Amino acid sequence: MDLTTNESAGVSNSPTVAQTAPLNEAEPTHRIPLPDTPLVAIEPSRSWVKLSLRDLWTYRELLYFLIWRDVKVRYKQTALGIAWAVLQPLFTMLIFTIIFGRLAGISSGNVPYPIFAYAALLPWTFFSNAITNSSNSLVGNANLITKVYFPRMVIPAASVGAGLVDFAIAFITFIGLQIYYDIALTWNILILPLLLALTTLLALGVGMWTSALNVKYRDIRHALPFLIQIWMFVSPIIYSARLLSGKWKWLFALNPLTGIIEGYRAALLGQAFPWSWLALSTLITVITVVFAAYYFRQMEKSFADII
C-alpha cells in the first residue's frame, strides 16, 4: 500500500504526544523544604505520663478558635442572646432573696441580701456552667477527636474559657447593684483577678476529670446536674460560712468553693479576707488540677477508640 494514501486519509505515522512527552514532566519543579526539627514527636507511653501542658501554649490559636466557637454556638438562634449570661444569676438572686432572705430570714450581716447573694452567685454560675459544658465537651466533639491530632486537653479548656465571657457580662450587673445599694469598692478588689484565676483552675480540673469519665461512663452526664445541685447547697451561697461554728466550720472548709466564694465577698463587698480558708482552697485546687491532668492524659490515648 502506498504511504501517500494514508497521509491523504488523515492518518499520520508521526509519534503521538504521549510517546514524545518527557518522562519527568509530571514531577513537580519545586519541592517544599522540610523543617530541620520534627513538629510533633510521638513517643511510647511510660508508667507516669507527662502532662505536656506546653502543648496548650503551642495550640493556643486552636484554643482561641474553640472558645469563640462555643460562645457563638451557645447563643445562636436565641431570642435574648448574650442576655442569658445576666438573667441566670439575676433571677436566681431574686428567688434567693424572697425565700431565704425574707421568708427564712438568713442573716447577711450589714450587707443587703440581694447583693450578698449575687456576690456568691457570680463565681458559682461561672463554675457550674463551666464544669457542665466541659464534661460534655469531648463527647460533643467526637468527630474532631477521631480525625485530627491535637492535645485533647484543649477541648475542656475551651469550654471553661468560654464561660469567662459570661462572667464578664454578669460582673457588669454587679457593678450596677453596687451603685444602687451605695456600696463603695475598696482595695480588696485587687485580689479579684487571683480569685478568678483560682476559680478557673478549679473548674478546669473538675471539668477535665468529668469529661474523661464521661467518655467511658455516659452516666456522668445524668448524675452531674444532681451533684452540682448538692454542691451548691454545701457551698456558702445562700448563707455565710462565717455563721458556722465548731467542726462544721472546718468540714465545710474542705469544700474548695468555701474559701473562694468568701474571698469574692471580701473582695467585692469590702469584708475581711478569710486567709486560712483561701489557703486551704488553693491547696485543694492545685491537687485537683494535677490529679485531673494526669488522669486525663492517661485516658487520652483511648478516647478515639471508645468515644
Write out the DSSP string of 49-63: ----THHHHHTHHHH
* Better-scored residue on pLDDT, 161 or 9: 161
Spatial distance between the Cα atoms of 257 and 122, rounded to a whole number of angstroms: 12
Rounded Cα–Cα distance for residues 88 and 74 (Å) = 14
DSSP 52: -
Higher pLDDT: 6 or 140? It is 140
**Is 218 within 8 Å of 163 (Cβ atoms)?**
no
> Would you state the pLDDT for residue 41?
62
* pLDDT score at 31: 66
Amino acid symbol at 275: W
pLDDT at 185: 83
270: amino acid identity, one letter: G
Question: Quick check: 58 and 39 in contact, CB under 8 A?
Answer: no
The C-alpha cell at 266 is: 471580701
Find out whether 276 and 258 touch, Cβ atoms under 8 Å.
Answer: no
Q: Supply the pLDDT for residue 9.
A: 43
pLDDT(238) > 90: yes
**Averaged pLDDT of the chain:** 82
| pLDDT reported for residue 290 | 92
Label residue 29 exposed, middle or buried (CB < 10 Å: 0-12, 13-18, 19+). exposed
Residue 112 to residue 186: CA distance in whole angstroms: 17
Average pLDDT rounded to a whole number, residues 100-127? 91
Specify the pLDDT at position 286: 95
Rounded Cα distance, 269 and 177, in Å: 11
> Is 118 in contact with 174 (CB distance < 8 Å)?
yes
Amino acid at 280: L
Distance CA 90, CA 124 (A): 12
Cα angle for residues 187, 189, 194 (degrees, 5° grid) = 125
Lowest mean pLDDT among 23-32, 166-175, 209-218, 256-265: 23-32
Helix (H) / strand (E) element for 173: namely helix 154-180
The residue count of the chain comes to: 307
* ∠ Cα 54 224 117 (to 5°): 90
| For the ranges 78-87, 176-185, 195-204, 209-218, the one whose mean pLDDT is highest | 195-204
User: 197: buried, middle or exposed (CB in 10 Å: 19+, 13-18, 0-12)?
Assistant: exposed
Percentage above 70 pLDDT, the chain: 81
